[in-house]
Amino acid sequence: MREFFHRLAQNRWILPALIVAGFVFAIVAQNFPILNNYTKFVLITAGINIILCASLNLVNGYMGEFSVGHAGFMSLGAYASAIFTTKWIPDSAAFFPVSVLFGGAVAAGIGFLLALLSFKTRGDYLAIITLAFLMIVKSAWENIPYVGGPRGVLGIDPMTTLPWTFFWTVVALWAIRNLVYSKFGRAITAIREDEIAANAMGVRVREAKILAFVVSSFFGGVAGALFAHQISFINPGSFDIVKSTEILVMVYLGGVASLAGSILGAVIFTFLSQALQPLGYWRMVILPLMLVLLMLFRPRGILGMRELSWLIPRRETQKNNAP
Amino acid sequence: MIPAVVADFAGTLPDWGVYLAQQSVNALQLGSIYALIALGYSMVYGVLVMINFAHGDLFMLGAFACMLLVAALPWHLPFVVVLLMVMLIIGLLGVLIERIAYRPLRGGPRVSAVITALGCGLIIENLTLVKFPYSQHMPTDLFVSTSFRFAGVTISTLQLLIIGVSAILMVALDFLIQKTRYGMAMRAISFDAGTVPLMGIPANRIISLTFFVGAALGGAAGMLYGLAYPVIAPSMGILVGWKAFIAAVIGGIGSIRGAVLGGFLLGAVEVMVVAYLPSTYRDLISYSLLLIILIFKPYGLLGSPPNVKV
Amino acid sequence: MVPKKLFCLSLALSSAFLFGCGQGGTPSVKIGLNAELTGEMPAVGASAKNAAELFVSQINEAGGIEVGEQKLPMELVVGDNGAKADQAAAVAQRLISQENVLVMAGPDASACAIPASEIAESLKCPMISPWSTNPKTTVDSTTGKPKNYVFRACFTDIFEARVLAKFVLNTLNAKTAAALYDVASEAPNAQATLFKEVFEKNGGRMVAFETYTTGDRDFSAQLTKIKAANPEVIFLPTYYNDVPLVIEQAHRLGITAQFVGSDAWSSPEILKLGGAHLEGSYFCNHYSTEIATPVAREFMKAYKDRFGQDPDDVAALTYDAFGLITQAVTRAGKLDREAVRNALASIQKYEGVTGTMQFQPGSGDPIKSAVMLQIKDGKFDWVANAEP
């Protein structure tokens, strides 16, 4: 049995097969009544949370910084894409992927600026910059009548379907995986371990940091765009510090510097927060309590610093298995 | 209708002067509360290099502890006694949280402790919500405020109390840190946590004390805040806590005087933006300003870059 | 191997969650309630839930709800939206798709009711919001036409702003007013903006128009600004837990202007929190316990007997929403969402706790009157009626 699983884990076809199967399932589930709408809703939420969690993990886990502003990037992506589909090119499902890309691009652009500006700061100072950024974004939307001010954007076409969510989740995980196991990825991890030493060894710290930040904010924006087209209503208050805290909880629950951990953390968080809803306030006692206990016994999260071998590129696994 | 103003002193200033002075008093009141909370963040950071995200919720508990104490005790206690009791309770709670949730993680990854703190804060907040789902009113007879007018500016005795108590606490803290042996040990730990235990200083006891003092100040701030804004709710620690954290960082986290400066600065910016610009822009302008400060002074106004050993 | 096992375990658990939800049982009329049980306004959610439970237990004691030939028991499914937009949408999805409710009542806060209404509309499930006064709840924002499946049991912000502006201008005889409101909150924001519009159109002057953000507790800067503008009336369309804070701080600053509020004040919690500072203030509401009809008196007595407190307007409106639903289901004669929707739209003169109502032709907004109340001796005192 163990041998079977081991062989399964080593099989290079398993991951593509899973992706194809998942995609087929998503299309079937979307178009045939095998799942009810609520189940679809929860699955889509889980997908969006996986994207959020994995993209924040890039900055907070792999790079070891502490950003608390991820909801801000989500907000940028949500607004940009919602304006795109409600005001610029309304009633056109064909442009939905473009609008998601646009949302991601806007978030990435602002993320790039923020990374440039805050390059000198790090650690807890970066945390505060992202926090201030979050509050500025929320307040900015509240003051722009074009995007509805505090009222937000209404009547967004609910175009976020299961296949699209699955597609973007796979794209996000694939992109982050490839980044993490690239030359830049090593630079990013080196920054986490020791920035000064990394710099001395010739790692291009600045480029690596900015790239990680931009990719992270891009997918934060993509998740926001999907969220906007799932709920079909966004307002500035949807993306506040509480939302950021939720994403942080998912990241550290699942485990830092681990994509499998991000998937797990997001899935657990999504299902538990739906399933524990009847408990009222106790829900938000139980979830953080789990997190605190987990931190005390596994300080890096459930799968912190570990990875499912499926999710590691083939050349890497071979390298690691070599004596 | 409650009588608004009881006495009038010393003539009046021109209108713009009255307005500016009135807004300055408002800023001073808000700033002294921010400063008291920011101190708690800064002290813990100075000693442990860790952001204690549960601090905002300890602040909130300060107000609830005061309410429960006044309701539970049969005697009519003077303000100062209640304040000291609240500080003692919240201080001990701070020590308890450190012992249970942070100490086991010391030496582990730094961010785990931060996340644990975040979790503890959420637990405290939501447990209080389970007990008090509705907003509560602070006891009215603990301190009866009257307003008087001085040179056209309306000042309440409550405002004087808040500003006065905060000032006393800050001076006392400065004395503790600069002039006592405990303070010296605290400063030593924040300078080099690795060497200090080797010098025979009981680091754990000093850290507990730091948590006690930081949390007690947060509790005092909570109680004063509750008196100033007498409808209290378990969620009130979130926003104020994060804002005070910003204040601490602007001042230079780890720096005690920086925290005070940051607190007053944040209070002044928030009030003055509303005073002279449309109030909708308050958060936009004040946080942009703070962002700009941090971009040009990455370690805050009075902070110094961490001493990094290569 | 450990991570892989954990991973598989959690996936197995979540799929069990997905597919394990079964259905079945005896036929009943399932009504959903999408309520603000946690979050910023728990008193609103609690009132809604109480009133709904009261109604359901009353109708079941009377043998159930008449559908066609038989009497069926009514079943209540409550979902907590945490007073948050996205959670309200999720709860609406769950009630409509997973729990298969026939009709959904709630949400009450407009910020929640708007996204929930979009979902009800797209899934063709009748929804009736007891307390959401925002015009957008029942109107499709892209076409500007009324939504087909969304109704409410209360008047709209537009009507309320007109009532309040006229009251300030004509009854209080005030020509200058200031407003202070939570810019990030749906209903207060709409009410302040609409009030300003109507007030200025009818000859009043807004001398200050100040805002704050949800969670703020210090209003001294805004109030100092308002004081300098010296208005006769301060319009305060904020939720019940912020009102006492504002008024107490205003009094400390020496402000003596008259305070006027909206229906967001109406929870009795406000009296506990505000005390003497609220005395003399006016606000607009959906009903008054003082001018209660026999129907209303019966409801008030039953509510007080069961929960030990007087019902607020949320409770009364929720009770009415359930009354409307019951009548519509009986008239439809079958458990079919489309038939219930049609029956609801064509209800003539339903006599509820908050007055008689019927829906405007082709719209989910009822025609009904409002009352002006004053806070006097720690009670809500009836002042005037305002007809539509």
Q: Is residue C357 part of a domain?
A: yes
Closest CA to C133 of C300, C327, C364, C373: C364
CB C250 within 8 A of CB C238: no
Name C103's bridge partners: C31
Would the pLDDT of C119 be above 50?
yes
CA-CA distances (angstroms) from residue A150 to A314, C129, C184?
A: 48, 21, 5
Q: Are residues C264 and C229 in the same domain?
A: yes
Check residue C19 and give its pLDDT. 46
CATH number of the domain within which A21 lies: 1.10.3470
Among the three residues C242, C269, C285, which one is the final residue of a domain in this structure?
C285
Interface test with A, best of C17, C101, C132 (most A CBs within 10 A): C17
Asked whether the beta carbons of C177 and C198 are under 8 A apart, the reply is: no
**What's the number of domains chain A is made of?**
1
Predicted local distance difference test score (pLDDT) of residue C20: 43
Rounded CA-CA distance A186/A212 in Å is 11
Residue A127's CB: how many other CB atoms inside 10 A?
Answer: 22
For chain B, which domains are there? Answer: 7-296 (1.10.3470)
**Cα three-residue angle A243-A246-A251, rounded to 5 degrees:** 130
Q: Quickly tell me which residue has 């459930």 as its tokens.
A: A302
Range of A225-229, B143-147, B195-199, C11-15 with top mean pLDDT: A225-229
Q: Do C149 and C124 reside in the same domain of the chain?
A: yes
Using the Cβ of C213 and the Cβ atoms of chain B, whether some distance falls under 8 Å is answered with yes
pLDDT of residue A319: 55
Is the pLDDT confidence value at A41 over 70?
yes
Q: Is residue C320 part of a domain?
A: yes
Contact assignment for A143 to B281 by CB distance below 8 Å:
yes
CB contact under 8 A, C276 and B282: no
Q: Check if A47 contacts C (Cβ < 8 Å).
A: no
Of the candidates C40, C252, C272, which has its C-beta nearest B156's C-beta? C252
Which residues of chain C have a CB within 8 Å of the CB of A25?
none
Mean pLDDT of B214-222: 95
Q: Is the pLDDT of residue C17 over 60?
A: no
Across the interface, do A235 and C94 touch by the CB < 8 Å criterion?
no
Residue contact A233–C10, C-beta within 8 A = no
A301: β partners: none
* Calpha distance A317→C108 (Å, rounded): 55
Domain boundary among C255, C285, C315: C285
Amino acid C212 reads Y
Residue A2: C-alpha distances to residues A9, B306, C1, C4 (Å)? 11, 49, 9, 11
Which of B122, B236, B269 to substitute to test the interface with A, most A CBs within 10 Å?
B122
> For residue range C372-385, what is the model confidence (pLDDT) as tens digits?
999 999 889 999 88
Domain that holds residue C175: 158-285
Contacts of B287 in chain A (CB under 8 A): 132, 135-136, 139
Q: Which of B118, B238, B250, B310 would best serve as a mutation to test chain A binding (most A beta carbons within 10 A)?
A: B118
Q: How far is CA A185 from CA A63, A182, A258, B103, C289, in A?
A: 9, 5, 13, 32, 68
Q: Is residue C279 part of a domain?
A: yes
A187 and A198 Cβ atoms separated by less than 8 Å: yes
User: For residue C136, what is the domain's CATH number?
Assistant: 3.40.50.2300
Task: Round the average pLDDT of chain A to a whole number and report it.
Answer: 86
* B280 vs C211, C245, C272: nearest CB: C211
Q: Does the residue C77 lie in any domain?
A: yes
pLDDT digit string (tens) for B289-300?
888 888 888 888
Query: Which chain B residues are within 8 Å of C280, Cβ to Cβ?
Result: 1
Helices (H), chain A: 2-10, 14-31, 37-57, 70-83, 96-117, 124-143, 162-180, 183-193, 195-200, 205-231, 241-254, 259-275, 283-297, 314-321
Q: Please give the average per-residue pLDDT across C21-28, as a whole number.
A: 58
pLDDT bracket for residue B4 (50, 70, 90): low
What is the dihedral sign for C-alpha B21, B25, B31, B32? Answer: positive
Instruction: Out of C285, C306, C325, pick the residue that ends a domain.
Output: C285
Q: Looking at the structure, do residues C146 and C247 belong to the same domain, yes or no?
A: no
CB atoms within 10 A of CB A117: 15
Across the interface, whether the CB atoms of C13 and A271 are under 8 A apart is answered yes
- Same-domain pairing of C42 and C118: yes
Neighbours of chain A (3+ CB pairs under 8 A): B, C
Cβ pair B51:A121 closer than 8 A: no
Asked which of A285-299, A303-317, B227-241, C60-74 is least confident by mean pLDDT, the reply is A303-317
**Mutation target among C49, C98, C337 for the A interface, most CBs of A within 10 A:** C98
State how far residue B288 is from chain A, nearest Cα, in angstroms.
7
Cβ distance of A241 and B130 shorter than 8 Å? no
Banded model confidence at residue C84, pLDDT cuts 50, 70, 90: confident
Provide, as residue numbers in chain B, all residues whose Cβ is less than 8 Å from the Cβ of A255.
Answer: none
A256: which chain B residues are within 8 Å (Cβ-Cβ)?
109, 111
Rg of chain C over CA atoms, in angstroms? Answer: 22
Mean pLDDT of B72-89: 90
Residues C200 and C270 in one domain: yes
Count H helices, E strands: chain C? 12, 17
Q: Which residues contact A171 (CB under 8 A, 6 or more apart)?
A: none
- Residue C101 pLDDT: 94
Name chain B contacts of A242, Cβ cutoff 8 Å.
Answer: 238
Calculate the dihedral angle through the C-alpha atoms of C63, C67, C70, C75, rounding to the nearest 10 degrees: -50
- Tell whether C278 is within 8 A of chain B (Cβ): no
- 3-state secondary structure (DSSP) of residue C283: strand
Same domain, C86 and C189: no
pLDDT tens by residue, B94-149: 999 999 988 888 877 778 888 899 899 999 999 999 999 888 998 888 888 888 88
One-letter amino acid at A126 equals L
> For chain C, what is the domain count?
2
Residues C133 and C168 placed together within one structural domain of the fold: no
A43 to chain C, any CB pair closer than 8 A? The answer is yes
C189 and chain A in contact, CB less than 8 A: yes
Q: What is the mean pLDDT of residues B43-68?
A: 90
Across the range B71-82, mean pLDDT stands at 87
CB A159 within 8 A of CB C122: no
Alpha carbon of B298: minimum distance to chain A alpha carbons (Å):
5
> Least CA distance to B289: which residue of chain A?
A132
The two three-digit tokens of residue A170, written as one number:
């796979």
Closest residue of chain C to A42, computed from CA coordinates: C90
Chains in contact with C, where contact means 3 or more Cβ–Cβ distances below 8 Å, are A, B
Is C228 an interface residue toward A (CB < 8 Å)? Answer: no
d(CA C172, CA B302): 54
What pLDDT was estimated at residue B279? 85
In the predicted structure, residue B5 carries a pLDDT above the cut 70: no
Residue C378 lies in a domain: no
Contact C108, C312 (CB under 8 A): no
Residues A184, A207: contact at Cβ < 8 Å?
A: yes
Q: Is residue C267 part of a domain?
A: yes
Q: Are residues C151 and C225 in the same domain?
A: no
> In this complex, is the C-beta atom of C15 within 8 Å of any C-beta atom belonging to chain A?
no
Mark yes or no for CB contact B235/C254 under 8 Å: no
Q: Are C3 and A41 a contacting pair at CB < 8 A?
A: no
Please give the residue that has the higher pLDDT: either C84 or C164.
Answer: C164
A3 has a pLDDT exceeding 80: no
Contacting residues for C345 by C-beta, under 8 A, at least 6 apart = C151, C359, C364
User: How far, in Å, CA of A52 to CA of A247, rounded?
Assistant: 7
For range C293-309, the mean pLDDT? 91
Angstroms from A275 CA to nearest CA on chain B:
18
One domain, residues C162 and C241: yes
Mean pLDDT of B26-38: 93
Residues A28, A34, A39: CA angle, nearest 5 degrees: 100
The reply to whether C18 falls in a domain is no
Helix (H, G, I), strand (E, B) or coil at C29: strand
Quote the domain boundaries for residue A79.
Answer: 2-321
d(CA A47, CA A109): 23
Is 60 exceeded by the pLDDT of residue A320? no
Identify whether residues C162 and C140 lie together within a single domain.
no
Residue B306's pLDDT is what? Answer: 65
| Residue C125 counted as domain residue | yes
Structure confidence by residue, pLDDT tens digits, A15-38: 888 888 998 988 888 888 888 888
Q: Burial of A13 by CB count in 10 Å (0-12 exposed, 13-18 middle, 19+ buried)?
A: exposed
Which chain B residue's Cα is nearest to C43? B134
Output the pLDDT for position B1.
42
Give the pLDDT score at C23. 44
Residues C166 and C258 in one domain: yes
* Contact flag A36-C114 (C-beta cutoff 8 Å): no
| Chain A residues near residue B290 by CB distance under 8 angstroms | 132
Which of B135, B235, B242, B271 would best serve as a mutation to test chain C binding (most C beta carbons within 10 A)?
A: B135
Give B3 to chain A, closest Cα distance, Å: 36
Q: Report the C-alpha gap between B268 and B276 in whole angstroms.
A: 12
Q: How far is B81 from chain A (nearest CA, A)?
A: 32
Looking at the complex, does the CB of residue A144 fall below 8 Å from at least one CB of chain C?
Answer: no
Chain C residue with Cα closest to A282: C38
- Which strand ranges, in their side-by-side order, compose the sheet holding C74-80? C74-80, C29-35, C103-105, C127-129, C150-152
Say how many CB pairs under 8 Å bridge A and C.
118
* Residue B248: both structure tokens together: 């601490």
B chain contacts of residue A60, beta-carbon cutoff 8 Å: 111
- How many C-beta atoms surround the C-beta of residue A21 within 10 A? 10
Instruction: Check whether C22 has a pLDDT greater than 80.
Output: no
State yes or no: pLDDT of A321 exceeds 60.
no
The token pair at C39 is 């979050």
Say if the Cβ atoms of A39 and C97 lie within 8 Å. yes
A142: contact with C, CB 8 A cutoff? yes
Q: How far is B74 from chain A (nearest CA, A)?
A: 31
pLDDT tens digit sequence for B148-183? 888 888 889 999 999 999 999 999 998 998 899 988
Q: Which residues pair with C18 in a beta bridge?
A: none
Confidence band, pLDDT 50/70/90 cuts, at residue A219: very high
Q: How many Å lie between the alpha carbon of A232 and the closest alpha carbon of chain C?
A: 7
Q: For A280, which of C80, C98, C123 is closest by C-beta distance?
A: C80
